[in-house]
Every structure is written in structure tokens, then in C-alpha cells.
């Protein structure tokens, strides 16, 4: 029901990569306050690497369902079957439950929003800017369900990285998307 680009109001507690670290997630929620009376925005990467990916993503989905008006989740680059089948989430699902569970999570991930605009001035996403991004309506108009392509706007929103070693656009050492420098950010902010 939510758009690809959420438009939210502050105050908002913004959290980055959880990566299956369930007990760290519990500490984060304890420190930040209960989702029943705190606003949260999670920027993706809920799965892979850690030992408790299923617990992390299920807890976050439960909070999202229970507190839909103040608990928000964006998609990260690990909420993609081609990535999380390599970095551990598929194996965890298969070992503890079934391959069908992993596929079901993948279907849900394909519907997650990819950006949030806080107070009409702070743009949040898992990755960064894209050379294809000229107007925020491009994000609003992204279609779902969406598999993450190897290049293009959606890919960049989840994979691009800021870099102090380039002024404009540069190659990304991760082999996907770009790095972007100060001039790109300044130009984008003027739009």
C-alpha cells in the first residue's frame, strides 16, 4: 500500500544495516524506545551475514504490521534473491525451515519501498544517488514488484556509494553502480 518513496515527518529514528544481528536489533529498539511510541525508519539490509536473519526480518515485519503509521522499512541491496542466496539468508531459511520460506520473503522484499523523504528535505535510501535521477517523481513512479537490475536507477538507489576521492561520478569497487562525490550532491540539492 505504501509508495516506492515514502514521505514522512520528523522526528524519526533512522537505523542502518541490521544484517541478521538479532540481539543488536533488540538493543537498538531498547535504546531508541518502543515502536509503540517512537517513529522508526530502517534503511534495509535486514538479512545476510548474521546468525538470526529470520528473527530480525520477522520482528521488523511484525512491528511494521502493528505500527504501520510510524514504523517504516526500506529495501536494501541484500533484500534481493541474487544477493541473499550467496550471503547466507537462503541457507538459513533452507536449514531451519524451507526453501519456500526464502522465496516467500523474496516476494515480499520485491514490494518494499526504496526511498523516504523526511520533512521534504532529507532523502534516505540504502545506497545513494544515481546519474539517472533528475526528479523525485522517477522514484515515485518505479513499478512493483521489482527485482533489482544490474544497472539503472533502482540499482543505484540500493548500491551507489558516496566517495571523497571523486568529485563527480566514479567506478564502484564493488563492481556494481557508481561512487559519487561532493559535486554530484551539491548539484542534486539544487534541483
Distance CA 90, CA 102 (A): 6
Residue 136, all three cell numbers:
523525485
| Structural contact between residues 14 and 47, judged by C-beta atoms closer than 8 angstroms | no
Q: What share of the chain is helix, strand, coil (3-state, %, to 5)?
A: 35, 15, 50
Phi first, then psi, for residue 29 (nearest 5°) are -70, -35
Dihedral of CA 64/67/68/70: which sign? Answer: negative
Residue among 19, 78, 126, 135 flagged as catalytic? 78
Return the H-helix or E-strand segment holding 115: strand 115-118
> Does the annotation count 78 as an active-site position?
yes
Q: What is the set of active-site residues?
A: 78
Amino acid at each position: 500500500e505504501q509508495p516506492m518513496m515514502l514521505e514522512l515527518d520528523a522526528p524519526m529514528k533512522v537505523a542502518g544495516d541490521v544484517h541478521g544481528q538479532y540481539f543488536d536489533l533488540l538493543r537498538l529498539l531498547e535504546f531508541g524506545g518502543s515502536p509503540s511510541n517512537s517513529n522508526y525508519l530502517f534503511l534495509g539490509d535486514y538479512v545476510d551475514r548474521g546468525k538470526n536473519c529470520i528473527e530480525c526480518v520477522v520482528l521488523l515485519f511484525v512491528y511494521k504490521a502493528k505500527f504501520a503509521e510510524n514504523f517504516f522499512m526500506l529495501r536494501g541491496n541484500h533484500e534481493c534473491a541474487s544477493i541473499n542466496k550467496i550471503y547466507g539468508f537462503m541457507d538459513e531459511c533452507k536449514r531451519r525451515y524451507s526453501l519456500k520460506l526464502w522465496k516467500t520473503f523474496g516476494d515480499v522484499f520485491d514490494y518494499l519501498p526504496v526511498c523516504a523523504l523526511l520533512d521534504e528535505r532529507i532523502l534516505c535510501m540504502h545506497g545513494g544517488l544515481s546519474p539517472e535521477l533528475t526528479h523525485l517523481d522517477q522514484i515515485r513512479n518505479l513499478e512493483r514488484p521489482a527485482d533489482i537490475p544490474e544497472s539503472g536507477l533502482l540499482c543505484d538507489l540500493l548500491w551507489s556509494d558516496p566517495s571523497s576521492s571523486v568529485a563527480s561520478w566514479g567506478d564502484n569497487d564493488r563492481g556494481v553502480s557508481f561512487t559519487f562525490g561532493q559535486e554530484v550532491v551539491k548539484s542534486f540539492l539544487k534541483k
